[in-house]
Amino acid sequence: MNDFQKRIHKFAQDRDWKQFHNPKDLLLGIVEEVGEIRNIVKWEQDPAKIEKVLEDNKSELKNHIGDIYWFLSLLANGTNINLDEAIDEVITENEGRFPVKEVKSAHTNRYLGGKDKQYDD
């Protein structure tokens, strides 16, 4: 468990808030924060403009990303999942699914002709 996950656990524990942190509400918190980020770029299609809008609103974006991590940590803590172990497993899996020599600068969506070893026959 990383230091942030431990700090968030202690913060909630010190306040006796576990009783309010059921998985459904934590997931809804994550969804809400993702929606807030989406609202920053809503309706824009031009990638350059999206990058500029995100840069111009970096403080707000940072806050929403922090909130997502907060809710995710509470969810992980409540289900006894170590975030460091979880992300390490995902990175290792993705290294196998998407070898650099096969996917560098290439789209990986299999429906668009991309390579994803998870779906190899």
CA distances from 56 to 51, 60, 62, 76 (A): 9, 9, 12, 32
Q: Give the SS3 label for residue 45.
A: coil
Per-residue model confidence as pLDDT tens for the chain (121 residues): 899 999 999 999 999 999 999 999 999 999 999 999 999 999 999 999 999 999 999 999 999 999 999 999 999 999 999 999 999 999 999 999 999 998 899 888 888 878 788 887 6
| DSSP-assigned letter for residue 104 | T
Q: What is the CATH number of the domain that holds 61?
A: 1.10.287.1080
Q: How far apart are CA 107 and CA 56, in angstroms?
A: 28
Within 1-121, residue ranges assigned H as helices are 3-14, 23-41, 47-56, 58-78, 83-97, 100-103
pLDDT (0 to 100) of residue 121: 60
Q: Which of 2, 58, 1, 69 is nearest to 29 (CA)?
A: 69
pLDDT (0 to 100) of residue 92: 97
Residue 113 corresponds to which tokens in the numbers above? 């002709």
The gap between the terminal CA atoms of the chain, to the nearest Å, is 36
Per the structure, how many domains does the chain have? 1
Domain containing 93: what range? 3-119
